[in-house]
Chains A and B, each alone.
Chain A
Amino acid sequence: MKPFDEMLISGDEVREPYARFHEWFREQDAEALGEKASEAEAFFRRTGITFNVYGQEEAAERLIPFDLVPRIMAKSEWDNLADGIEQRVTALNAFLDDLYHDQEIIKAGIVPERLIAGNEAFLEEMRGFRPPGGVYTHIIGTDIVRCGENEFYVLEDNARTPSGVSYMIENRETMMQMFPELFAQNRVRPVETYPHHLRRSLAAVAPPACEGTPTIAVLTPGIYNSAFFEHAFLADQMGVELIEGSDVAEIDGRIQMRTTEGYKPIDVIYRRVDDAFLDPKVFNPTSMLGIPGIMDVYRNGGITIANAPGTGISDDKAIYSYMPEIVEFYTGAKAKLQNVPTWRCAEEDSLKYVLEHLDELVVKEVHGSGGYGMLVGPTSTKEEQEIFADKLKKKPTNYIAQPTLALSTVPILVDGGLAPRHVDLRPFVLVSDKVRIIPGGLTRVALKEGSLVVNSSQGGGTKDTWVLRD
């Protein structure tokens, strides 16, 4: 079956949100557009919007390919999506609070205890502690896929450390520079307000020890991290410090940064360092990236950590499979956004089904991310399937499987004009004194014809994402 195309219904019939764009596009000269594409690439290079790919020594800094054709959503489409996202992130925070306190959801028999106890992402150190404002996951990048006109699924919640928001903003900047006329013709909601909202969200959850205007800092593992550009970008745009572990020390019960004028306390830290490396005194003792003593300071109200340690438990793909029940349990309403149907290989019947249908399913590690360690059945070889079958039998609890979804397509610019490619969508959500959802997000696109893998680490590209005002 032909996948749902977001621009073209058939041949020449264009879906409403793309009407104006399509009209504009038909008037453009193909060669000039090709030039614009290389112009965009030069712009990204000069700006240094690059990322590092693990395990590839040469070309340490790579560009994520950018496609000029925007992904456009109508107001009504977006409003429904935003409603569903707000419900979901609210439930996620309630779920995390419950897990680290009374665990009502386990007592109610909805989520099995075995998924929590002994799960590395569940941190005993967070038990009984409630972060400032009662917020656990402040910054979320909900991955959403579309399979039809009204058919949206949440693929992953990314409640731990979602990345890509800098591309959302830079993609828009690039488009506005190259095609200002498009923004005069279409009423596109702005995304460049994100850093402003992020700063406000972080300031609103300052810890008890904070006096006056909160001092905010972004903690990065350093310039060799794959997302360093984004860390610097966000700190720059928010007008806050970008710090590394070596810049700070625990002094007088606060985490303080070494400035040219002496030590200054930090109130809220947006950390882009994983839990395991956050505090060598508590977690991985060999970590050079973290801040010794920060967990103690945190528990004593000396600092706010965003996202809170231990939120990774909700990114577990086995937990994900319970999200419809989790949403209903905490919000008292049916989940507005659907989950992708998921087989938990830990369950015997499911494992049997999965092993029999490896050639049609997508199999993922429950703790994995970034498109690593997964099997895409339909495009895999017999050999790869056999290797995965062995892994599944050896450690079934480590895997879940999902049907291969017919992801929607949006055209990309190719030599011969437009050609449909599969996309997903990562809107960015901020949770603090209230929920802030930036209208738009990062559209990732598989550049290879027919490919369903959109991850940038696997050669995917990105598009500017428009939410129209009307």
Chain B
Amino acid sequence: MALLGRTANGLFWMFRYIERAENTARLLDAGQRISLTNLSSEPDEWQSVLVSAGVEAAYNAKYDNHDPDNVVHFMLCDRDNPSSVRASLETARTNGRMVRTALTRELWEAVNESWLVVQRRLAGKVSAHELPAVIDLVKRQGALIRGTFQTTMLRNEIFDFANLGAFIERADNTARILDVKYWLLLPEHSQVGSALDNFQWRSILRSVSAHRSYAWEYDGEYRAVNIIDFLMLNKRMPRSLAYCYTVIEDSLKFLDRNYEVRHPCFETAASLSERLSGSSVRQIIDNGLHEFLEAFIRDNNRLAQEIGQNYRFYPEV
């Protein structure tokens, strides 16, 4: 059966927003852990949460301080913020309704139920002491959706477009976290490779459920090279850029075989993927981590646009 371009678009964005809801929740989790340590020498942690989520300007238009309650409300409940957990799940669910015919009943119900539950929880203010429970709820609903997706959906192009959305969003998110925090890793060039006693990084790894897997992959010490390798180049780490691009390339290859056409987006993905597999951490640091990430975020976005064009997400104007 043919797949409508609009449906492919709906699937793509539905899964971007499911991923985003959870990423936003994880960012808040890290933000709270770090701010709880009250290290006065460090800059405003809540600001970096806003920057990582790419919503600082929108926030500043509404508030003139970084009061934790305001940031938490803005990131969790505010429907004016398209990346808030509530708005993200609403957008995911609206897209899900639109592409209802492409989803299994189980997946649709998981999305709809998650939206119902989370929306009800976020309808009022969420106070600081409730935050861990709310974040946990969002993560659990995300797991429910992903589990249903994995276990009930046919492995066809619907599955591929959904995965493309999820992993482009995830790659964007990991790259942004790194970009906001890279200065912590590189206080001075000379210290690269030396052990970091860094509570911040432990918190960040923990917020992406990776503090234990980091210990599996490397020694227990937090070293800048290892953390960068882990979050960018390690293909076993499910939130790393390299892992995301393995899934993205695979999904595009499946679509490619399916449609017997090679679209330009395939080349874009391949070149991004090569950029990750062809570099070592040292090279990336020497050439400038920030520059690398900036280019990555830009090209990752470009890939999303190309996929939309190549697979006719929108009518020709």
Contacts and interface: CB of A to CB of B under 8 A. Distances in A.
A45 interface: yes
Interface residues of B, number: 26
A241 B3 CA distance: 8
A190 B259 CA distance: 40
Interface string A260-289: 111010000000000000000000000000
B312 A262 contact: yes
Nearest to A48: B112
A411 to B, nearest CB: 31
Contacts of B238: none
A232 interface: yes
A242 B312 CA distance: 17
Interface stretch (B97-105, B178-186, B206-214, B288-296): B97-105
B112 A47 contact: yes
A236 interface: yes
B4 interface: yes
B306 interface: no
A246 interface: yes
Contacts of A264: 2
B222 to A, nearest CB: 44
24 contacts: A45-B116, A46-B116, A47-B109, A47-B112, A223-B94, A223-B98, A228-B97, A232-B97, A232-B100, A241-B101, A242-B101, A243-B4, A246-B6, A247-B4, A257-B4, A258-B4, A258-B6, A259-B4, A260-B2, A260-B8, A260-B311, A260-B312, A261-B2, A262-B312
A244 B99 CA distance: 11
Contact of A48 (B3, B97, B261, B311): B97
A133 B1 CA distance: 26
Nearest to B96: A48
Interface string A390-434: 000000000000000000000000000000000000000000000
Interface of A: 45-48, 222-223, 228, 232-233, 235-236, 239, 241-244, 246-247, 249, 257-262, 264
Nearest to A260: B311
Interface of B: 1-6, 8, 94, 97-98, 100-101, 105, 108-109, 112-113, 116, 157, 161, 255, 259, 261, 311-312, 315
Contacts of B108: 48
- In the complex, which of the residues A47, A241, A258, A260 has the most CB atoms of chain B within 10 Å of its own CB atom? A260
For the complex of A and B, the 8 pairs showing the least CB-CB separation, nearest first, are A259-B2, A232-B100, A260-B311, A236-B101, A258-B5, A235-B101, A242-B101, A48-B112
Contact of B5 (A46, A232, A235, A260): A260
- In the complex, which of the residues A46, A228, A259 has the most CB atoms of chain B within 10 Å of its own CB atom? A259
B115 to A, nearest CB: 10
B94 A241 contact: no
Given A258-B312, A260-B259, A46 B112 contact: yes
Nearest to A47: B109
Contacts of A258: 4-6, 312, 315
Contacts of B101: 232, 235-236, 241-242
A247 B4 CA distance: 7
A273 B157 CA distance: 29
Given A48-B97, A48-B108, A259 B113 contact: no
Nearest to A243: B4
A241 B100 contact: no
Nearest to B261: A261
A244 B97 CA distance: 13
A259 B312 contact: yes
A233 B101 CA distance: 7
Nearest to A249: B315
Contacts of A244: 6
A259 B109 contact: no
Contacts of B5: 247, 258-260
Given A223-B97, A241-B101, A260-B259, A46 B312 contact: no
A45 B108 CA distance: 12
Contacts of A249: 315
A258 B6 CA distance: 8
Contacts of B315: 246-247, 249, 258
A243 B98 CA distance: 10
B15 to A, nearest CB: 16
Given A223-B97, A241-B1, 5 more contacts: A228-B97, A235-B101, A241-B4, A246-B6, A260-B311
B161 to A, nearest CB: 8
A237 to B, nearest CB: 9
Nearest to A237: B101
Nearest to A246: B315
A1 to B, nearest CB: 46
A264 B3 CA distance: 10
